[in-house]
Every structure is written in structure tokens, then in C-alpha cells.
């Protein structure tokens, strides 16, 4: 597994080390899990958005309809 070097303040480093120790884990593991979660959430969000787009496409038969301004604002007043 490759190593990565990051720069953080001494103050933050000490706080994060205490946080990890309180949870019985390492700083390395905390960072790795957080990064995995970030990437997973992004992928999950993209997949959900794509799914919603495909549902809309199916619902409207793949057609892009022209909207009229009056119809968009109808019933909003």
C-alpha cells in the first residue's frame, strides 16, 4: 500500500490522535476510513442521480418537451 504525506498543524494532529485513541483505532485507519466513506458517498450519490434521470426519461418516453412559461407558473400564485 502506498504512503501519503500530509501537512497539518501540531494542534490538529494532537486532537486527532486523542480522538483515535479514545476510539481504540489509529490515525492512519481513521483517515483511510474517512476517505473510503467520501468516495463511497460520491459514487452512491452519482448512482442515485443517474437512476432518477433514467426514471424520468422512461416516464416521459425519452421526449424533451417544450415548456410554456404560463404552464410552469400555473397555480403558484
Domain chopping of the chain, boundaries: 10-62
Gap between the Cα atoms of 51 and 76, Å rounded = 29
Taken in order 28, 32, 5, 10, the sign of the CA dihedral is negative
The confidence score (pLDDT) of residue 64 equals 63
Report residues of the chain scoring pLDDT below 50.
none
pTM above 0.75, yes or no: no
Q: What is the length of the chain? A: 77
The confidence score (pLDDT) of residue 25 equals 95
- 20-16-4-7 Cα dihedral, nearest 10 degrees: -170
DSSP letter assigned to residue 66: P
Which residue from 11, 9, 13 is spatially nearest to 28, judged by alpha carbons?
13
Amino acid at each position: 500500500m502506498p504512503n501519503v504525506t500530509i501537512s497539518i498543524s501540531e494542534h490538529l494532529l494532537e486532537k486527532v490522535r486523542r480522538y483515535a485513541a479514545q476510539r481504540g483505532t489509529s490515525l492512519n485507519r481513521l483517515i483511510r476510513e474517512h476517505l473510503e466513506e467520501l468516495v463511497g458517498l460520491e459514487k452512491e450519490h452519482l448512482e442515485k442521480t443517474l437512476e432518477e434521470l433514467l426514471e424520468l426519461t422512461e416516464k416521459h418516453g425519452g421526449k424533451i418537451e417544450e415548456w410554456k412559461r404560463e404552464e410552469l407558473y400555473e397555480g403558484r400564485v
